[in-house]
Amino acid sequence: MGIFDFLKGEFIDVIHWTDDTRDTMVWRFEREAHEIKYGAKLTVREGQAAVFVHEGQLADVFTPGLYMLETNNMPVMTTLQHWDHGFQSPFKSEIYFVNTTRFNNLKWGTKNPIICRDPEFGPVRLRAFGSYTIRVVDAARFLTEIVGTDGEFTMDEISFQIRNIIVQEFSRAVAGSGIPVLDMAANTSDLGKLIATEIAPTLAEYGLAIPELYIENISLPPAVEQAMDKRTQMGIVGDLGRYTQFAAAEAMGAAAQTPNSGMGAGIGMGMGMAMAQQMGQHLQPQAAGQASGPWGARPAAGAAAPQAAPAQAAPVAPPPPPVEHVWHTAENGTTSGPYSKARMGRMAQEGSLTRDTHVWTPGQDGWMRAGDVAELAQLFTILPPPPPPPAP
């Protein structure tokens, strides 16, 4: 082997690219003065494509495989000069490696709310977000339309543009779909496929494709969501009047069990006034019926007309009945109750309630002796009548 063949073998190039960044889409093979030796070995791995650019023009695209850069396997470059030189001079060209694998877990979302017309709620504002995947399907078009002469092109440089395309098509698809807001959660898969189909022609002009697009969530403004929650609660409650009565009764019971609180007495007074008002409204029609006579009878023909009765004032509703207190007792550090006043009277007769027993009722300022409470003191002063005389 001559010295010329030895030198030629020593200067053979090996051109390849291994990527460990996970976000690089295009990488340019760097060589001083862009000189590539004749007969260089080009290795293109799976998930890659190599674009050969000579003197500013795209010359060829290499798919995965091993190539020898010679004129016999590069018909596009047969016009290159200086191949007949003895040392087979290097040619000044550039090689761009393009990553053709999928770029996964890319995020998209609406920066501003989308206004659309809902058939049930009318105009509503929607927000949405999700994820998508993208890949290069035409390396030559992607290089000429997007990358240009960038030596290292990453996904971040084009993700913003793709997000804008997705949001634009999502807005148009949602506004024209006619799907109610409450049913959109069940149609996110179909909406995602529809949007991916609509943006495919636009991305094809860049040499890209979007294999998957997912809509993870479609949400309404917080105020609308709170109103929907209220509506759901009303649907669960059912009869609002019965629920209100039940809630009031529960509140009264809770207040009665709370020591040193006037809430129970206040609730009791309010309920008593409401009951009195209902009774007054019920008695007014009856009073009007009695004033017109039984069965609404009219005077017989020819009979003297009765004298007009003096005008009477409208019946006034009676005052609310007094609120009956319920009592708690404390003895040996243990409380019991509540007891009605009648029950307290029986306890006084039985001897389980004495003047020294500490008692408490809602609205009372702390525990007091039963003998010091005016309402209970009378239970100890009333004596039973004398027993009847014995039978003869």
pLDDT at 391 over 90: no
What is the pLDDT of the chain when averaged over all its residues? 76
How far is 258 from 266, CA to CA, in rounded Å? 13
The arithmetic mean of pLDDT across residues 152-178, rounded, is: 88
DSSP class of residue 372 equals: G
Amino acid identity for residue 354 in this structure: T
Q: pLDDT tens digits for 13-50?
A: 788 898 888 889 999 987 665 567 777 888 999 999 99
For the chain, the domains span 3-99, 103-223, 327-380
Kindly indicate the confidence band of residue 176, based on its pLDDT and cuts at 50, 70 and 90: confident
Residue 69 burial (C-beta neighbours within 10 Å; 0-12, 13-18, 19+): buried
**What class does CATH assign to 103-223?**
alpha beta
Q: pLDDT tens digits for 277-315?
A: 666 665 565 555 554 444 444 445 544 555 555 555 566
The 10 Å Cβ neighbour count of residue 137 is 16
* Least confident range of 168-172, 276-280, 319-323, 346-350: 276-280
Find out whether 264 and 258 touch, Cβ atoms under 8 Å.
yes
Q: pLDDT tens digits for 46-84?
A: 999 999 887 778 888 999 999 887 755 554 443 444 434
Write the CATH number of the domain with boundaries 327-380. Answer: 3.30.1490
Q: pLDDT tens digits for 102-150?
A: 999 999 999 888 888 888 778 888 889 999 999 999 999 999 999 888 8
pTM score of the predicted model: 0.53
The arithmetic mean of pLDDT across residues 188-217, rounded, is: 91
Q: What integer pLDDT is reported at residue 155 of this predicted model?
A: 92
Rounded to 5 degrees, φ, ψ at 212 are -140, 140
